[in-house]
Amino acid sequence: MEQQGPSPVANTQQASHPATPKPAKPGVQSVERAFTLLELIADAGGQATLSELAERADLPMPTIHRLLRTLVNLGGARQLQDRGYTLGPALMRLGELAGRQLGDIVRPHLRTLISALGETANIAVLDGDMMVYAAQVPSEHSMRMFTEVGRRVHPSATGVGKAVLPSIEEARVAQIIHSSGMPQLTEKSIVDFSEFKTELALIRERGYAIDEEEQELGVRCFAVNIDGAPTPMAVSVSGPTSRLDNEFAKQAVPLLHAAARNIGADLNGAEV
């Protein structure tokens, strides 16, 4: 069910669709497989059993055992007493440094949005079953909002979350929402999964998402998925509903699509 708010902006960009497999690139197979296991553990919320990894990795069990043993020895994974596996402590430093570098890459694009729109610009990434704000350039306006770097928020109640989810396979979306829940943060929050799936279908068709006061009353957010990013992420602008109206949407959505393309290209080392 479409919510009330700014009218949909005509989308001149291609709407987001479930991600297609990336073409194979030359590389070291064992390294690629090790990263696959780490990503599967992350997708499972940071912890997975051996059987779950074997089911999703499509690798021989001896290979999975060997790779996990190596990752455990290097601190990239940790084995639990119940024989499950989690991400290891060695990844913390790498993640912290990678987060800083992500900010360095995206901040110029967020500043471009700020210059054009005058409202707070954000980057958020999917971390397990929650969205995490990874970078931000704040508006000069004094209004303080929930969007702070490092803050974890529910995908179902945020523009960034709703922008990212249509690009993910439906089974994984259901898993994310089941794990994170659909809390009623405001009277406008969507709390019914069937209604939420309808909302995602609308977002997929028009190519952008709106947080219509679902996270915080009085605050609206427009967000676009960054196609081809190494990890699911979205770019957004947010501010008070009094300023983020229909006219703002007409200007903001094309700029968000342009920012998403440029950020995706920078993250992949390509030219737009």
Task: Report the share of the chain in percent with pLDDT over 70.
Answer: 84
Distance of alpha carbon 168 from the chain centroid: 10
Residue-wise DSSP of 209-221: EEEESSSSTTEEE
Domain range annotation of the chain: 29-88, 96-267
Mean residue pLDDT across the chain: 85
pTM for the model stands at 0.72
Task: Report the share of the chain in percent with pLDDT over 90.
Answer: 53
Q: Which tokens hold the place of 25?
A: 């690139």
201 vs 2: which has the higher pLDDT: 201
Of 96-105, 142-151, 251-260, give the lowest mean pLDDT range.
Answer: 142-151
- Top-level CATH class of 29-88? mainly alpha
19-75: pLDDT as tens digits: 334 444 556 888 889 988 988 888 777 888 888 898 888 888 999 999 999 999 999
Residue-wise DSSP of 242-264: TTSSHHHHHHHHHHHHHHHHHHH
Whether 96-267 and 29-88 are alike in CATH topology: the answer is no
Are the C-beta atoms of residues 71 and 34 closer than 8 Å to each other? yes
Are the C-beta atoms of residues 197 and 177 closer than 8 Å to each other? no
Given a cut of 70, is residue 11 above it in pLDDT? Answer: no
CATH of range 96-267; options 3.40.50.970, 3.10.129.10, 3.40.190.170, 3.30.450.40: 3.30.450.40
216-260: pLDDT as tens digits: 999 999 999 999 888 899 999 999 999 999 999 999 999 999 999
CA–CA distance, 129 with 76 (Å, rounded to integer):
20
Are the C-beta atoms of residues 180 and 156 closer than 8 Å to each other? yes
